[in-house]
Amino acid sequence: MSTTARRYSVCLFLALILATGCSGTKADTTPPDAPLSLLATRGDGRANLTWTTVTADDLAGYYVYHRLEAGGSEIKSDLITRTSTTVTGLENGTTYIFYVTAVDEAGNESSPSPEETVTPSNEASLTAEGWTAWELGDYETARFLFNDALNFDSDYAEAFNGLGWTALRQGNLETASSRFDAAISNRLTTQDAYVGGLAVYRDLPGYLALAMTYGVTVLENDPQYVFSHDTTINVEVVRLMLAQVFFRLGEVFFSNAQEQMDILVEENGLDPADPSTWSVEGTDYPNYASALLALIQYAFSLLPG
């Protein structure tokens, strides 16, 4: 055999070894099937993932990948031999994208599973999302998010407060009252639930005394009150609603109503003992009660919106 022929035979022999391995079997280059039906649920700073089992005799496990929806580097997990895992250390309120691959013992990796998005949350982040929806007037989304927050903490006062204001804006006074009461009983740190309760109970028969208590509480605890989610609701509105409650409680509380109006409408001139003062915006009234009511209504007409 010539030198050239021998060289060719050696090269062919080495090529066969590289292609088949020392055992003479062709190397495995076929990846397993991709995992299907990836399911991702959110938790507090975490994502819980499950997926369908990949059937392969030489399956080694799975890799989980995730990245920020907004972009950035991708993070790959260590090899996982189960069909579920929990990814921790995530930021609540931030959306992540996840997918899973299968890998065999030869190191062949499958194509990715369908992607799933997860936004880890807790009661605080969900409630913050709820208030964002509320401020946009999307009360159904707000209600869903506030209720979802209670799934994390069933006593979370701010979520009850959000549900109260949502129900109030939707005109459901009975629901609003129970939610505001729950916020108060769970020690809400702001006066918001008292203000909401004042707005609700002034219009619910039999609850004027409670409405009065709530209104007085706000003025005592926060004389400069402003509702952070709607700045048109402030201490002036509280005083007006309280004046309305005092008026509805009857003549014995007219002086209390007048006290609030004297603060809101300076030099209004109303004097219960002087019929010549029973005039509001150029209109004369036959008695003090009707003049006082007209003054309250006039003050409401001056509110923005």
Average pLDDT of span 27-50: 94
Q: How far apart are CA 167 and CA 199, in angstroms?
A: 12
**DSSP per position, 137-202:** T-HHHHHHHHHHHHHH-TT-HHHHHHHHHHHHHTT-HHHHHHHHHHHHHTT-SSSHHHHHHHHHHT
Give the pLDDT confidence of 46-78 residue by residue, as tens digits: 999 999 999 999 999 999 999 999 989 999 999
Asked whether residue 144 carries a pLDDT value surpassing 80, the answer given is yes
157-169 helix and 192-201 helix, angle to the nearest 10 degrees: 30
Residue given tokens 């031999």 in the structure block:
81
For the chain, list the domains and their CATH numbers.
39-118 (2.60.40.10), 123-301 (1.25.40.10)
Task: Grade residue 259 by pLDDT with cuts at 50, 70 and 90.
Answer: very high
Average pLDDT of span 146-168: 97
Asked whether residue 226 carries a pLDDT value surpassing 60, the answer given is yes
Instruction: Please list, in sequence order, all residues whose beta carbon lies within 8 angstroms of the beta carbon of residue 190, skipping any fewer than 6 positions away.
Output: 161, 228
- Give the type of residue at 116: E
- Give the type of residue at 250: G
Q: With contact defined as beta carbons under 8 Å apart, do 95 and 48 qualify?
A: no
Give the pLDDT confidence of 111-120 residue by residue, as tens digits: 999 999 999 9
Q: Residue 277, class by beta-carbon neighbours within 10 Å (0-12 exposed, 13-18 middle, 19+ buried)?
A: middle
Asked whether residue 183 carries a pLDDT value surpassing 60, the answer given is yes
Residue given tokens 């190191």 in the structure block:
107
Asked whether residue 10 carries a pLDDT value surpassing 50, the answer given is no
Mean pLDDT score of the chain: 92
**Predicted TM-score (pTM) of this structure:** 0.80
Query: Hey, how many other C-beta atoms are within 10 angstroms of the C-beta on 221?
Result: 11
